[in-house]
Structure formats: C-alpha cells, structure tokens
Chains A and B, each alone.
Chain A
C-alpha cells in the first residue's frame, strides 16, 4: 500500500478556519509608495551655484588640477616645518584660514624664476659654517645695490629648504645669545621679498618670510617682556597686566626696546626695514602708549615701495601685525586702502607693456594683489557698527558726509568688489540704488564691472526683505542689463537679480524676452549655460507649478536652447516638480514632460547606469510614467506606454514599471467592463515587454503577475502561455549566476510557491501530460546546483500541497478537465518522488536548527496532504526524529507539530483497529 492523497472538504474547512483567523482591514496608506525625495533636494542645486559665483576668480582656478597638487605640497611644507602654525595667541583664526586660501590659490611651477639677489642669498643659505655665513652677510651688507639683472631658475624645493635653514639658523643664533646674527639673517629674508620676479610664488614666499618675521617678533617681545618683568638678579620688578602702560616699564627694558628699533632703523633698504619694524611692532607698546602714529607712518613708508606687488603684500603684513597691537584704530587701514586704490589706478591705467616684470600680464598682477585687498577689507569692516562704517566709507571717499553715501564717487572696481563683499547686508540693502550708481561710475580694467553688478545682486537677494527700493532697483537692472550685449554677462546679471525681478510684475516678461532674443541669435556657450541653468532653477523654484511655467512666453524655447548637463539638470528639476503632484491628466503637460524625459534620455550617458544622476533620472522618469493618468482613455494611455517603451528605451529599469502599468491598465479595463480586446492588447504589450527586462527574476515575477491578470480576465490560453514562459524563464536562471544573494533566493522561492499555487487552477496543458509543469519544476530543483536544501524543501512542500489540492474529488477550482484517473495516478507517482526528494534534501541542510525547522515543515505538509497510512506514519516519525534531534524540546513549532501528529496517529490507530476487526 503506497501513499494516498488525503481527501478534504474545503467548504467545511473554510468555515472552520474563518472562525479562528484574524480579520483583515484595508489600509489607507500604501507603505510601498515611495516618498517624494525632492523636498530635501530642492534647494541644494541653487545653493551650490551661489557658492560658485561669489568668487569668480577662484572659480577659474577650480578647473585646473593644481589645487590638488598644492594641497599635497602644503602638507609637505607643514611637515618640513617651514609653515608652522603661528604660535601666537591673538585672534589669528582669520589669518590662518587666509594663509590656507592664499597657498591654494596660486599654482606654482616646479621651477621658480629668481633674480640674482635672491639667488645669492639662497646659495649662501645652504652653508652651515658660521664663518662663511658671516662673509656672505658682509657681502650682503654692502650698501651698493645689486644692479646686475639676470634671472636664474631655482627649484621650489631648494628655495624652501633654504628658507627653512635660514629660519632654523635664526632660531639657533637667538638661543645661542647671538641676537645680532638673528637680526642679520632676518634682514636677508626681508631682502628676498624685494624680488618679485618669482611672480606666482610671491604669495607663498611672503607667507614663509612673514612666518620667520613673526617668530623673530615673538622672540624680541618675549625678551623685552622678561627684561621688564624681572631684574637682573631674578627678582620680579613688574608683573604684567594685559593693558600695561609704557610708564610701567623699566628703563632697562625700554632701552633694549629702543636698541631694537634703532638697529632696525639702520637698515638701508626700505622693504626689509618696514618688514622688520612690523615684526617687532608689538614691542612699541613698551615705549609708546599710542601706536596710531607709528602705524600711520609705516603705511606711508610703504608708499615708497615702487613695485606694486611688493607694496601690496607689505601693506598686508601691516594689517596683519597691527592686529597684534591694541587700540590702533582704523585710520591706518583707511589710508592703506586709499593708497592701494591709487596703486591700482596706476596699474589699471598703465599700458600693458609696462609690466615687463609680469610677462606683460596685468591680470596676473591683479590676481596676485587681490587677496591683500580682500584681507584688508575684511579687517577694516570686522565688527563695525553703523556709524563706524559710515566713517570708513567717508574715509574711503565714498561719500561726502555721513548719510550721503555712495553715488558718483571714484573707487577702483576691484576694491569696490571686495567692499561690497564685506559690507554688512543692512548697509547694502538700504543703499541699493546708490551702490548701483557707484558701480556704474566705476568701470575700469582692474575688474569686470559685470561681476560687481552680479555681486550686488546676490547680496541684495541675501536679505530681500530689507530692500526697500524694489522699483528703482528693478528699473536699474533692466537699464544696466540692456547695455550688455554679451550673453554671459547678460545672464550673470539677470541671474543675480532674479529674486528681485520676480517680485515685480511685468518685468519677468521683459527678462524672458531678452534671454530668448540673446539665446536665439547666438550659440550658448558653457559659461552661459551655467548662468542660464541657475536662472531657470530659480524660476522653477519660484513658480512651483508646471502649468504656470508653461504659460510663460519663451520658457519652453529657452529650455530648448540649452544642452548638455545643464539641460539634464533643468529637466530633472522639472521632473521633480512634476512628481510633486499626485497624478497628471493634462495632455499638454504630459506631452511637455514626456519631451523633457526624452531630453534627459538623449542627453545622458546611458552606459553608466551606476551613476547617481542616472539612478535619479530613472527614478524620476518612472515616477512620471506612473503618475500619468489618461482616465477613461485607455487606448491613449496604452499608446503612451508604447511610446515610452520606444523612446525611453535606454532606461532599462523603466520597462518593469511599464509592464506593471499595462497590467494595472488591463485590470482597470476589466473593472470598468470595457471590451476584452483592450485587455488582450495590454497583455500583449506586457508579454512583449517582459523579455527585455534585464533581470531574470524580475521577468519571472512579471510573467506570473501578467499570468494572474490573464486568469482574472479568463484568458486561459494566455495564462498557459505566460506560465509556460515563466517556467522557461525559471529554467534560464541557470547556475543562479549572480543570484547567490539570500534576497534573490527568497524571492525565487516565493515566486515558485506562487507558481505552484497557480498550478492548482491550471496544472498544465493536456497534450503535454497534466503533471508536466510540476515535473519541470522538480527537474529544475534537482538539476540546479545552486538550489539550497531549504529552498528545495519549501518548493517541494508547495508542489505536494498543490498536487494534493488538484486531486480532490471536489477541487477548489474546476480547472482540470479530461481524464481524472490518469491524472490522479500521475500525481500520486509524482508525489512519491517528491517525498523522497524531500527526505533526501533535509539531510543535506548543513545548519542544524534550519534542518529541524525544515523537517517539521515537510512533516506537516506530508501529514496534511496524504491520508494516514503506515508509510506516511513512518515517514513522519523519521522526520520528527530529525526535528527532535535538531531542535530544543520547548520549540513552539515542534510542540504544535507533535500535537498535530498525535491527532494523525490517532486516526491511524482507529484505522488499524478497524482492519483488525475485519
């Protein structure tokens, strides 16, 4: 007596089950619907763009790879100890960050051009023996100026190691009580700064040299302080408060201090003299209480330096060192900037060929000087209140008196730029029109006027609520912008003022007309694209509604004029906007966005499917496709899907949602009772699309989903075909290549279980034998090496249950027709094989706990599928033994299974008793 399938009465069981199953409620929120990722991203793009704009010169450098190399270099310098962090405690934060920026800003070639003076200093820097150093120092002390011209090349490394050695030598000499040598060597360093033929290296040289001066300054300060604090015999004379007066200092200390100043005063050359006096500037507190005159004099002395670069950096050092002196006021800073202005006027008005030193490059010279302006301006305006700012502005000649600021005053535009950058926002906002006039009045070659307008715009938009003269500003913008014929300048200005313009009615149209006019007549270049992108992004943020946007004249044309990555960025932004609405019904909007999607598709590098942009794009496009809703116009909707599949074919991830959509469409058609032919079209679409889905598991899933839809529509032949394709697809999952992930396996397992359950309804085509499908699944399970025992058992259980269900006298669905007897025999023999496979598979499971679980699973399945008999009982017992040996006694599943099996054994005993009676 073999195994027999158990007879069941589904109707009864169903009623019984219903009594102890949980009730289900529909959920309002679909947990699977993706939350819109846009709200967070909304402003990011704009912010980035803004950052780029605030410093146009730095942006130029960003393109080169020098920054990277430089930062590596810096590391080297820091490591080598040349650029040690300043060891001072005064507010040096700005200075440190400024140093870093300065270091990164100017790329340096490996070789540096130096004049013969520097090279002679450098040469001797290498020598360690004292005697030679002294002889060279004497040479250098020669009051005769080195007049030989001649540029030599020296490697950057050598230059640094020389400076480093000099620094060490100075420190050593100082600690060896040979302060005169320290001073002499420092003067040498000062002479190096007289050589500006090093060009781009000058800022770095400046930092290295001033580092040495700072060190010397600290040493001198410390020495005099100690003199003032302690008498020669070590007793304390005077303990130092922070705000000490010159009168508190002993005459001994004062004399030492005076000696330092007169030693430095005796230096013949102007530049080293100024630098060294600045180095020991803090010490002037020991002698004078009021440092303002000294600073003023130093600023004026700097006027004597004819070389613009050297004098600009010398002023920078004044500003830096003055911060070490309390109560130095701002007068010197104002003079400093005014002097700089005159210097820059001269540069701006000089013919290009006069800059022989700078290879005829005024731009380079200006860019080298620019950081000094920036730092000075920052220092002047730091922590300034309203009245002080007015004073400063009047001092800078930007107003006749307080309250009457800006307007037609002369101010070199590069200085103006940095002034605008640093001025407090309130001052800018309340003087918007005045500043406009100021910019208009000051147009010189030192700086691009357009960038000043742009900066003003950005600053005004920073706190738009404080701008009162909207109308005037907007008028001015229009007036100014019409003068610019170049597209990039035009766009830059528009971009900066867009927030203001958008607040004014009617101006938007003028602007868009202008942009359209400019873009239609000329090719849009790369820099223009960036501005255009920023403008459009701002517009998109402002409107927040596609319909309003489309209503704008020329908007679509302007977008059409864009290309490349900017176009993609804009398109993505539009898509993001669109995806904020729950669904799209307006055909014009759908058409517009469809075109936008096409633009993304065409403009994107499809091959790089891992890139973030691509991922985002596919996400947004599929979201858009999901949102499209043609309502009752099903055919149109299907056509749309077909179009999408065709023209957006590059997004392979899109095909899956398309199949889902067509299936959804089919269901909707059925619900609304439309003709079956439409359903068929949808199914056909799905069927054709599925093979192009790149991942096989997804194909399998889609086949099964579509099969279900077909079954729902009663299209059995479609269903059969789809199930067949699914099984074939399963068979194509050969070797489980790349599917070793547990997620995939779980997915396949559950898909197979689902397939088994579908087989209850349609076990297979008759001509191939009714158990044909089941056998194919079995052969898949046994032949594939990648199938784990767990998966195997779960699927086998499903198969057994499915077979058992199909073989009932009263099956749950009346799907099987034809020869029932043959089917039953087939099913029985198959189930025999399945059970054997199951037993074998359990033993293959390596993990003990899992093995126990699986044994219980199999045992339950067998006990519920087959009628009670000795064989089943024997199989079950052996499985239970396996389970018991693998699981702990109080395992819940085990105990409940034991209970269930107990009932089963009872049945068997009753049957046995009956046989006995016979």
Chain B
C-alpha cells in the first residue's frame, strides 16, 4: 500500500503564477475507502543563526521560527474508494490566484547554509479512525515569474580590478613584497542566473612563480536577529582558472557556470538577505605552503593574494 506524487515536470520547477500539475499514484492491494484526498502546498523560509558575525547570545537562540510564504490546501477527491491495483489521480492546483494579494513574496527556492527557502507539496489520504492515513511529500522548485523579469542580456556591468602587492591588506611573503606582482582583469558583477559569469584575467607580472589562481563564488546570508544583523559568508563553488606558473601577459577567460539551487537571485527581504560575491585568490609557489597542507582556502596567508568583487544575481528570461 503506497502513494506517491509525480510532478508533470521532471525538473520540478514551476513559476508562482503557474498551476502545479501532476499525478497522485496510489498502489493498493485491495480497494480501500477514504475520507477524502487532500493536497497541501506549503512554502517557507527557514532561518538559522550560528557562527558568523552573530554574537554568542544570538547563536543560542538557534533556529529562528520559520517564515511561511505559502500555505494552501486543496481537496482533490471527496471521500470514496480507491480501487485495487495502481490508480492515477491527476491534479492541477494554482499556487497563487491572479487577483490574490501578495502577502508574502514567493522567493525562489534556495538551499543555503543558514537560510533555506523550500516548497513542498503533500498528499494526504485520510482514512478515519484507527487507520493510518496515506501520505507522501515532494519538494518542488519555484523560480520567479517570467512576466516581470528583465530581458537578456543584462546590461554588461564589468568591473575592472588590479591585484598587486600593494592592494593586499594582509601580510605577504617578503619575496612577494619585494619582487612584486600585478594581475589585472575585469569581470561582470551583474549577472543573469542563466548565463555564466564572464570576465578575463591577465597575469602581467609576477616575480614569484604562481601555483594557482582560483575564483571563489561566495554567498553572504544575513539574518535580522533582534536589533542586530547576523551575516555569514560561505563558499559555494571554487573554480580554478590557472594551474601552475602560466605565461605572463596572456589573457585567461573567466567563465563560471552558476550552480543551480545553491544560488538564487540576490534577495533583500526585511528579516533576511541573500547576497553573493566573488573572491579571486592567487596562490604563489612557496615552501611554506607545503608545510601547511590543508586549511580554509580563504584565510589570508603569506603566499596568497586576494581580491573581493561584488556580484548581483538576477533572474532573466
């Protein structure tokens, strides 16, 4: 005796003004009676405060109460029977009626470290006393409506950057200080989620051989806790663009495909915000780095040069 939900789209992605469609599939050995089949659609923002810039006291609170975004119940079938064998019950429910007030904005699905925005659909077959109701839950993904989105291409906002020994705010190896280096480039800071992050980078000079150049895609999740904002950056993805001591003066392309689910359009909501940024790190070859094998890639080190760039992600057509 089992029940499951099959959504109409294999990627389970829907827009807020679309109908959520699919089938309820029940497999029962012999026909059973029920008191109605209900479909619940629920969406919420889960916030969790820990570490980061949150204080000790705030972190004690732990989980902040989840913020509901969406909660609806639909009757798919009134009470009756489900015949034996496999029974398919199609459904189509509107997530939001056209005239409905936007009480709470339907944010895009996001699986972050401290913040997660999730949507679920649950089917319940209620079966009276002493009988366990049959139930199944599936997560579906919400992407912003296409209607009110800007068209691609997004205005190409490129930021030009220079990384030299003088732009670093932490201590560097003496040979780096004296020998000097200069890495320049440009990168888009306003990016469509559907497009890769583009840019280019050139090592103009470097006295010390380079070991690696990486671009770290970071997210910064901030939560309003009382009067304070607890925000924590975390690493989403690292992309290496140079491996080893590369030729000077050659332009390297920066091309990063934005990972789905782990990113979403930049959000500034009242109680929380999700922002993104990029950190370019240049690792220089050094005997010292070999001593310290594994550590957090973004802690400033003597053989590391870094540059942080803002990144605004948007959903486009």
Q: Please give the residue numbers on chain A whose beta carbons come within 8 Å of chain B beta carbons, in ascending order.
A: 142-145, 147-149, 194, 252, 255, 261-262, 265-266, 268-271, 273, 297, 300-301, 303-307, 310, 339, 342-343, 346
Whether B247 and A269, one on each chain, are in contact in the complex, defined by CB atoms closer than 8 angstroms, is no
Whether B255 and A307, one on each chain, are in contact in the complex, defined by CB atoms closer than 8 angstroms, is no
Contact of A265 among B242, B257, B290 (CB under 8 A): B257
Whether B293 and A300, one on each chain, are in contact in the complex, defined by CB atoms closer than 8 angstroms, is no
Contact of B242 among A261, A268, A270 (CB under 8 A): A270
* Residues in B248-294 with C-beta less than 8 Å from chain A: 250-253, 255-260, 289-290, 293-294
Closest partner residue, chain B, to A252 (CB atom): B10
Whether B243 and A269, one on each chain, are in contact in the complex, defined by CB atoms closer than 8 angstroms, is yes
Question: How near does chain A come to B251, taking the closest CB pair, in angstroms?
Answer: 7
Whether B245 and A262, one on each chain, are in contact in the complex, defined by CB atoms closer than 8 angstroms, is no
Contact with A along B5-43 (1 / 0, CB 8 A): 000001100000000000000000000000000000000
Q: Interface stretch among B45-53, B140-148, B233-241? A: B233-241
Closest partner residue, chain A, to B235 (CB atom): A143
Question: How near does chain A come to B158, taking the closest CB pair, in angstroms?
Answer: 16
Query: Is B205 located at the chain interface by the 8 A CB criterion?
Result: no
Whether A304 and B241, one on each chain, are in contact in the complex, defined by CB atoms closer than 8 angstroms, is yes
> How many angstroms between the C-alpha atoms of A297 and B198 in the bound complex?
11
Known: A144-B295, A252-B10. 18 other contacts (CB 8 A): A143-B238, A147-B293, A148-B290, A261-B257, A265-B239, A265-B257, A266-B257, A268-B214, A268-B238, A269-B240, A270-B243, A300-B251, A300-B253, A303-B251, A305-B243, A305-B246, A307-B243, A342-B250
Whether B252 and A303, one on each chain, are in contact in the complex, defined by CB atoms closer than 8 angstroms, is yes
> How many angstroms between the C-alpha atoms of A144 and B290 in the bound complex?
12
> How many angstroms between the C-alpha atoms of A149 and B289 in the bound complex?
12
Q: In the complex, what residues of A have CB within 8 A of residue B243's CB?
A: 194, 269-271, 304-307
Chosen A-B contacts, 22 in total, with CB atoms closer than 8 Å, are A144-B293, A147-B293, A148-B290, A261-B257, A265-B255, A266-B237, A266-B257, A269-B243, A270-B240, A270-B243, A300-B253, A301-B252, A304-B213, A304-B241, A304-B243, A305-B243, A305-B246, A306-B242, A306-B245, A307-B244, A339-B250, A343-B247
Q: In the complex, what residues of B have CB within 8 A of residue A301's CB?
A: 241, 252-253, 255
Whether B11 and A255, one on each chain, are in contact in the complex, defined by CB atoms closer than 8 angstroms, is yes
Q: In the complex, what residues of A have CB within 8 A of residue B242's CB?
A: 270, 304-306
Q: In the complex, what residues of B have CB within 8 A of residue A261's CB?
A: 257
* Residues in B193-219 with C-beta less than 8 Å from chain A: 196, 210, 212-214
Q: In the complex, what residues of B have CB within 8 A of residue A145's CB?
A: 212
Of the candidates A143, A149, A304, the one having the most CB atoms from chain B within 10 angstroms of its own CB is A304
Whether B260 and A262, one on each chain, are in contact in the complex, defined by CB atoms closer than 8 angstroms, is yes
Closest partner residue, chain A, to B210 (CB atom): A306
Question: How near does chain A come to B283, taking the closest CB pair, in angstroms?
Answer: 8
Query: Is B180 located at the chain interface by the 8 A CB criterion?
Result: no
Closest partner residue, chain B, to A255 (CB atom): B11
Q: In the complex, what residues of B have CB within 8 A of residue A270's CB?
A: 240-243
Question: How near does chain B come to A667, taking the closest CB pair, in angstroms?
Answer: 85
Contact of A305 among B11, B244, B259 (CB under 8 A): B244
Whether A304 and B246, one on each chain, are in contact in the complex, defined by CB atoms closer than 8 angstroms, is yes
Of the candidates A143, A339, A342, the one having the most CB atoms from chain B within 10 angstroms of its own CB is A143
Query: Is B297 located at the chain interface by the 8 A CB criterion?
Result: yes
> How many angstroms between the C-alpha atoms of A49 and B295 in the bound complex?
61
Closest partner residue, chain A, to B242 (CB atom): A304
Q: In the complex, what residues of A have CB within 8 A of residue B239's CB?
A: 265, 268, 273
Whether A303 and B293, one on each chain, are in contact in the complex, defined by CB atoms closer than 8 angstroms, is no
Closest partner residue, chain B, to A264 (CB atom): B257
Q: In the complex, what residues of B have CB within 8 A of residue A269's CB?
A: 240, 243
> Contacts A301-B255, A304-B252, A306-B210: A144 and B246 contacting too (C-beta < 8 A)?
no
Whether B245 and A147, one on each chain, are in contact in the complex, defined by CB atoms closer than 8 angstroms, is no
> How many angstroms between the C-alpha atoms of A255 and B242 in the bound complex?
29
Q: In the complex, what residues of A have CB within 8 A of residue B10's CB?
A: 252
Closest partner residue, chain B, to A346 (CB atom): B247
Question: How near does chain B come to A256, taking the closest CB pair, in angstroms?
Answer: 9
Q: In the complex, what residues of A have CB within 8 A of residue B247's CB?
A: 303, 342-343, 346
Question: How near does chain B come to A297, taking the closest CB pair, in angstroms?
Answer: 5
> Contacts A144-B294, A145-B212: A303 and B250 contacting too (C-beta < 8 A)?
yes
> How many angstroms between the C-alpha atoms of A307 and B214 in the bound complex?
16
Question: How near does chain A come to B181, taking the closest CB pair, in angstroms?
Answer: 15
Question: How near does chain B come to A204, taking the closest CB pair, in angstroms?
Answer: 22
Question: How near does chain A come to B245, taking the closest CB pair, in angstroms?
Answer: 4
Whether B290 and A143, one on each chain, are in contact in the complex, defined by CB atoms closer than 8 angstroms, is no
Q: In the complex, what residues of A have CB within 8 A of residue B241's CB?
A: 270, 301, 304
Chain A to chain B: the 6 pairs with minimum beta-carbon distance, closest first: A306-B244, A265-B257, A304-B242, A270-B240, A306-B245, A144-B294
Closest partner residue, chain A, to B295 (CB atom): A144
Q: In the complex, what residues of B have CB within 8 A of residue A343's CB?
A: 247
Q: In the complex, what residues of B have CB within 8 A of residue A194's CB?
A: 243
> How many angstroms between the C-alpha atoms of A297 and B259 in the bound complex?
20
> How many angstroms between the C-alpha atoms of A346 and B11 in the bound complex?
49
Closest partner residue, chain A, to B250 (CB atom): A303
Question: How near does chain B come to A837, taking the closest CB pair, in angstroms?
Answer: 98
Q: In the complex, what residues of A have CB within 8 A of residue B213's CB?
A: 304
Q: In the complex, what residues of A have CB within 8 A of residue B289's CB?
A: 147
Q: In the complex, what residues of A have CB within 8 A of residue B11's CB?
A: 255
Whether B240 and A268, one on each chain, are in contact in the complex, defined by CB atoms closer than 8 angstroms, is yes
Whether B196 and A265, one on each chain, are in contact in the complex, defined by CB atoms closer than 8 angstroms, is yes
> How many angstroms between the C-alpha atoms of A559 and B245 in the bound complex?
54
Of the candidates B210, B243, B252, the one having the most CB atoms from chain A within 10 angstroms of its own CB is B243
Of the candidates B196, B240, B241, the one having the most CB atoms from chain A within 10 angstroms of its own CB is B240
> How many angstroms between the C-alpha atoms of A271 and B240 in the bound complex?
9
Of the candidates B239, B256, B258, B260, the one having the most CB atoms from chain A within 10 angstroms of its own CB is B239
Q: In the complex, what residues of A have CB within 8 A of residue B256's CB?
A: 265
> Contacts A262-B260, A339-B250: A297 and B290 contacting too (C-beta < 8 A)?
no
Q: In the complex, what residues of B have CB within 8 A of residue A304's CB?
A: 213, 240-243, 246, 252
* Residues in B293-314 with C-beta less than 8 Å from chain A: 293-295, 297
Contact of A306 among B214, B246, B253 (CB under 8 A): B246
> How many angstroms between the C-alpha atoms of A439 and B127 in the bound complex?
90
Q: In the complex, what residues of A have CB within 8 A of residue B240's CB?
A: 268-270, 273, 304
Q: In the complex, what residues of A have CB within 8 A of residue B258's CB?
A: 262
Question: How near does chain B come to A196, taking the closest CB pair, in angstroms?
Answer: 10
Q: In the complex, what residues of B have CB within 8 A of residue A147's CB?
A: 289-290, 293
Q: In the complex, what residues of B have CB within 8 A of residue A339's CB?
A: 250
Question: How near does chain B come to A146, taking the closest CB pair, in angstroms?
Answer: 8
> How many angstroms between the C-alpha atoms of A343 and B245 in the bound complex?
11
Q: In the complex, what residues of A have CB within 8 A of residue B212's CB?
A: 145
Question: How near does chain B come to A302, taking the closest CB pair, in angstroms?
Answer: 9
> How many angstroms between the C-alpha atoms of A273 and B238 in the bound complex?
12
> How many angstroms between the C-alpha atoms of A346 and B248 in the bound complex?
10
> How many angstroms between the C-alpha atoms of A303 and B210 in the bound complex?
13
Q: In the complex, what residues of A have CB within 8 A of residue B295's CB?
A: 144
Contact of A262 among B210, B259, B294 (CB under 8 A): B259
> How many angstroms between the C-alpha atoms of A255 and B9 in the bound complex?
12
> How many angstroms between the C-alpha atoms of A310 and B258 in the bound complex?
27
Question: How near does chain A come to B197, taking the closest CB pair, in angstroms?
Answer: 10
Q: In the complex, what residues of B have CB within 8 A of residue A306's CB?
A: 210, 242-246
> How many angstroms between the C-alpha atoms of A147 and B295 in the bound complex?
12
* Residues in B157-180 with C-beta less than 8 Å from chain A: none
Q: In the complex, what residues of A have CB within 8 A of residue B237's CB?
A: 266, 268
Question: How near does chain A come to B278, taking the closest CB pair, in angstroms?
Answer: 15
> How many angstroms between the C-alpha atoms of A140 and B230 in the bound complex?
34
> How many angstroms between the C-alpha atoms of A270 and B283 in the bound complex?
15
> Contacts A265-B196, A306-B210: A297 and B255 contacting too (C-beta < 8 A)?
yes
Question: How near does chain B come to A176, taking the closest CB pair, in angstroms?
Answer: 20
Q: In the complex, what residues of B have CB within 8 A of residue A300's CB?
A: 251-253
Closest partner residue, chain B, to A301 (CB atom): B253
Q: In the complex, what residues of A have CB within 8 A of residue B257's CB?
A: 261-262, 265-266
Q: In the complex, what residues of A have CB within 8 A of residue B259's CB?
A: 262, 266
Q: In the complex, what residues of A have CB within 8 A of residue B245's CB?
A: 306
> Contacts A252-B10, A265-B196, A305-B246: A148 and B293 contacting too (C-beta < 8 A)?
yes
Q: In the complex, what residues of A have CB within 8 A of residue B255's CB?
A: 265, 297, 301
